[in-house]
Amino acid sequence: MATSLFAGERPDRLEEACAVFGVYAPGEDVARLTCFGLQALQHRGQESAGIAVGDGETILIHKDLGLVDQVFDEEALAHLKGDIAIGHTRYSTAGGGGWKEAQPHVSAIDDEIIALAHNGTLVDTVPQRAWLANEGVQLYGHTDSEVAARTIGVDTRRTGHIRGGIRLMMQQLHGAYAIVLATPTALYAFRDAHGIRPLSLGKLPDDRGWVVASETCGLDAVGAQFVRDVEPGEIVKVSAAGLESEQGMQPGKRAFCIFEYVYFARPDSVLDGEVVYHARRRMGRVLAREAPVEADMVLGVPDSGVPPALGYAEESGIPYGDGIVKNRYVGRTFIQPTQEMRQMGIRIKLNPLPSMIRGKRIVVIDDSIVRGNTSKKLVEMLRDAGAVEVHLRIVSPEVMWPCFYGIDTDTQDQLISANLPHDEVCRYIGCDSLAFISLEGLHEAVESDHDGYCDACFSGEYPVAIPERLQRKAFLEISA
């Protein structure tokens, strides 16, 4: 539930950095396939959208601010003809959110044009910017994605081929990345050594081509069959020679972002062999065991709170009810807020059903609490609709630490749970009781086929070291 409707305002939720999509399919309308894939992945970023196509000779690109269907029309797609396409939707976490930062990022390696699209965040690009300057490279924007693209450029000149360039880049840059890269004749996809952000590989029917996408729902949208995930540290190349794979760098300890299961991913996506919907439903069951309450009805905050609310209802025996209706046509927009609009707050996006709520003690299931403002407004709204008790149950543990891997919580002082004790958070939000799933409970609910997760925003245990210079800016106890 992204809850900022207004330009320049951060939403009161952890927000995903981006989505990437890539397709190699000679003879197909690759730009249109990419457009469909990006529409399926729109939830991962709504600030800008872009597609770059390799036509055998060069790279063609169209990108702009806005949602996928605002950026692409028939005319734009008609100009993007080729065999290879990559696409991107953006939510800015590093480098601002203007047109210049929209992706794919296009650059040249001598006379070969490349396009690159990135999901994630590189932890510290300051030394790499200095290294690039030393190599005579001038950067034109502020994004870490440009740093990655230009590093690959320098390293490709050194090694004589792009795969060598990507391999060297992997040694030099640290953090979270799932990247797709197009040259005029080939598609590349690669992932950081810990596999922090997701990237799945699929195949079009009848051997018509290969597809990569941030989530499997992007593969489904174009009729591609899921084959496997791109592995941590792996480089996949697809060209006229077929699909080739190599381990670009040794994988580190696996650290897949556990928050993908809680909130970021679409419920119909499969992450690491686990359907997100089922994981969310299990989270609700675990939470019902850990934090029971006497109540008349369970309701979920749409969309990500609904599957766990069903799980909570199953486990507790309290009936589930639809008590909040979501307006599906309000996304992140560029509207300048008026005072009147601010007062309307979340009512623009969520509206309660008083006939379901009036006179009842309700348990509300939501995915997370970051700054606390939205939860406060939500509780007020439910009381106004006639709820006699509001018990808030959250299917993530308390968010105590900032994320440096592609999510927009930069500093600990933005996080209510890092600043106030539990009972004061409850009082601030105005609910009758408040409980969070335990970290062990969340891990129990995510029954994936591996045990390597990043849970740093709950535990403070970062899988990729955070330089002290960044810690000083971000952590409360050493920020003075």
Q: Which residues are catalytic?
A: 18
Q: Which is nearer to ligand SF4, 46 or 93 (CB)?
A: 93
Q: Which is nearer to ligand SF4, 14 or 149 (CB)?
A: 14
Closest to 128 (Cα-Cα) out of 114, 115, 144, 117: 144
| 199 is an interface residue for ligand SF4 by CB under 6 A | no
Q: Which is nearer to ligand SF4, 154 or 196 (CB)?
A: 196
Q: Look-up: residue for tokens 């419920």?
A: 267
Q: Which is nearer to ligand SF4, 114 or 415 (CB)?
A: 415
| 431 is an interface residue for ligand SF4 by CB under 6 A | no
Instruction: Kindly state the smallest distance separating residue 171's Cβ from ligand SF4, in Å.
Output: 22
Instruction: Kindly state the smallest distance separating residue 440's Cβ from ligand SF4, in Å.
Output: 15
DSSP secondary structure of 421-445 = -HHHHHHHHT-SEEEE--HHHHHHH
Strands 210-213 and 200-203: antiparallel
| 94 is an interface residue for ligand SF4 by CB under 6 A | no
| 259 is an interface residue for ligand SF4 by CB under 6 A | yes
Instruction: Kindly state the smallest distance separating residue 308's Cβ from ligand SF4, in Å.
Output: 17
Which of 178, 182, 258, 418 touches ligand SF4 (CB under 6 A)? Answer: 258
Q: At CA 91, angle to CA 88 and CA 95, rounded to 5?
A: 100
Reduce the DSSP state of residue 225 to 3 states and report it.
strand
Which of 2, 455, 464, 475 touches ligand SF4 (CB under 6 A)? Answer: 455
Residues 135-174 that bind ligand SF4 (CB under 6 A): none
Instruction: Kindly state the smallest distance separating residue 178's Cβ from ligand SF4, in Å.
Output: 12
Q: At CA 452, angle to CA 369 and CA 13, rounded to 5?
A: 15
Strands 274-275 and 270-271: antiparallel
Q: Would you tell me how many other CB atoms lie within 10 Å of the CB of residue 344?
A: 12
Contact between residue 96 and residue 140 where contact means Cβ atoms under 8 Å apart: no
| Residue 240 dihedral angles phi and psi, to the nearest 5° | -60, -20
Query: What is the total count of residues that contact ligand SF4 (CB under 6 A)?
Result: 12
Stretch near ligand SF4 under the rule CB under 6 A, chosen from 129-137, 278-286, 317-325, 399-407: 399-407
CA distance linking residue 406 with residue 341, whole number of Å: 29
Contact between residue 435 and residue 287 where contact means Cβ atoms under 8 Å apart: yes
Contact between residue 218 and residue 271 where contact means Cβ atoms under 8 Å apart: no
Stretch near ligand SF4 under the rule CB under 6 A, chosen from 100-108, 245-253, 419-427, 449-457: 449-457
Burial (0-12, 13-18, 19+ Cβ within 10 Å), 433: middle
Stretch near ligand SF4 under the rule CB under 6 A, chosen from 74-82, 229-237, 251-259, 353-361: 251-259
Q: Which is nearer to ligand SF4, 312 or 405 (CB)?
A: 405
| 257 is an interface residue for ligand SF4 by CB under 6 A | yes
Query: Cα dist. 312→1, 211, 308, 348, 391 in Å?
Result: 19, 37, 6, 27, 13
Q: Which is nearer to ligand SF4, 72 or 177 (CB)?
A: 177
Which of 86, 169, 196, 437 touches ligand SF4 (CB under 6 A)? Answer: 196
Reduce the DSSP state of residue 287 to 3 states and report it.
helix
Strands 433-436 and 242-247: unpaired
Residues 211-250 that bind ligand SF4 (CB under 6 A): none
If phi > 0 it is left, if psi is from -120 to 50 it is alpha, else beta; for residue 121 that is beta
Instruction: Kindly state the smallest distance separating residue 114's Cβ from ligand SF4, in Å.
Output: 27
| 456 is an interface residue for ligand SF4 by CB under 6 A | yes
Residues 402-421 that bind ligand SF4 (CB under 6 A): 403, 405, 407
Reduce the DSSP state of residue 193 to 3 states and report it.
coil
Q: Which is nearer to ligand SF4, 148 or 356 (CB)?
A: 148
Instruction: Kindly state the smallest distance separating residue 417's Cβ from ligand SF4, in Å.
Output: 13
Which of 224, 249, 457, 474 touches ligand SF4 (CB under 6 A)? Answer: 457
Q: Which is nearer to ligand SF4, 245 or 414 (CB)?
A: 414
Stretch near ligand SF4 under the rule CB under 6 A, chosen from 253-261, 271-279, 310-318, 367-375: 253-261
CA distance linking residue 328 with residue 222, whole number of Å: 23
| 122 is an interface residue for ligand SF4 by CB under 6 A | no
Q: Count Cβ neighbours within 10 Å for each residue of 6-23 and write b for 16 or more, e otherwise.
A: beeeebbbbbbbbbbbbb
Binding mask 292-331 for ligand SF4 (x = CB under 6 A): ----------------------------------------
Q: Which is nearer to ligand SF4, 399 or 435 (CB)?
A: 399
What residues make contact with ligand SF4 under the rule CB under 6 A? 14, 196, 257-259, 403, 405, 407, 454-457
